[in-house]
Amino acid sequence: MQRAQVILGRCLRQLREEKKISQEKLAAKSDITYQYLSALENGKENFSIGVLEALAAGLNLSVAKLVAIAYGEKAAPDFPKVNPAYFRKVPLPGKLDLKMLEDALNETQRIIFQINGNLRAIGAKSLPQYIQSNNFSGLISNLLCDSLSDFSCFKHNSHQKYPDLICPSKGSAKEEGLEVKATTQVGKGGESHNGHSGWHLIACYKITPETGNILFIHVMLANLNSHTHEFPDGNYVVSKVNEATGSRRTETYNTNVFGTAKLRDGSVYLDTDEIKHARWKHKRRDGIAIPAFSMFIKKVEQE
């Protein structure tokens, strides 16, 4: 059996290289020499708790997450991963980049993969079979939020209110927010209960029936206008009373055709093997041109 220092060292090097951080930079952030870091990565030196905490923080991770990745990845090397070739260059909020998003999507898929593996090991059903579809999407939203907090510049909003995540915006100390939703309805617009302006991320996924694992196939990002804006990107939908039960759902703020077009323009990840978007409608307000980064721009130019 490999020693813990070898497993952790190998994982440390892999994560550092994935994040494109040099040994010198990570060593400086962790207050150790790069020679010592090199020895740690090669399994030739032992970690102290303090050094492990500093290195994990330098990689924007907790110690628990670093250890989980080191041992979890080894135990589950075949979890579903998104295809880097399907990422697209679109405007992103704050300091978010494509690698951060890729890592967060993969981490969410890995967690579901491992949960399902543990369930199968005891002869149980897969996770989606125990949870209603809307609640399962809520779970995926929460896991993706947590993964983004671990792998990106966006962190949990400690006040537990709108937005889900916050990050200092580019070039200023101002915080930028990000609302996160997950759904199996590909190309669907966004929805919330507050109707505030700000960035929204809609992550669409499919479930593999045989295993219960998930795979993200479409991710949309857009900065949407609130209900108080001159040109809102959504409308409040007031639910009706269920005559049979007497219950009534909470009203929601759903994107209108203009807000949905914005989200579809901001398709940062699109699995073209799974999704055929050519017939999607993309209505815009008069005088608003299709942005150059939109996946619909070529189609319009050909018409």
Q: How far is CA 114 from CA 21, 25, 64, 67, 73, in A?
A: 28, 33, 16, 15, 10
Domain definitions of the chain by residue range: 4-75, 84-302
pLDDT in the model for residue 33:
95
Q: Averaged in consecutive runs of 10 residues, what is the pLDDT profile of the chain (303 residues)? A: 80 90 94 94 91 93 84 65 96 94 95 89 91 94 95 84 80 79 85 75 94 96 86 73 69 79 93 86 82 77 43
Token pair of 141 as six digits: 């939203």
3-state secondary structure of 221: strand
pLDDT in the model for residue 296:
82
pLDDT in the model for residue 249:
61
pLDDT in the model for residue 160:
63
pLDDT in the model for residue 280:
82
Q: What share of the chain in percent tops pLDDT 70? A: 87
Pair 239, 57: CB distance under 8 Å = no
Residue 182 pairs in a beta bridge with 203
- CA–CA separation, 258 and 296 (whole Å): 14
Place of tokens 């815009």: 284
Residue 191 pairs in a beta bridge with 254
Pair 232, 225: CB distance under 8 Å = yes
Fold held by 4-75: 434 Repressor (Amino-terminal Domain) (1.10.260)
Pair 150, 61: CB distance under 8 Å = yes
pTM: 0.74
3-state secondary structure of 188: coil
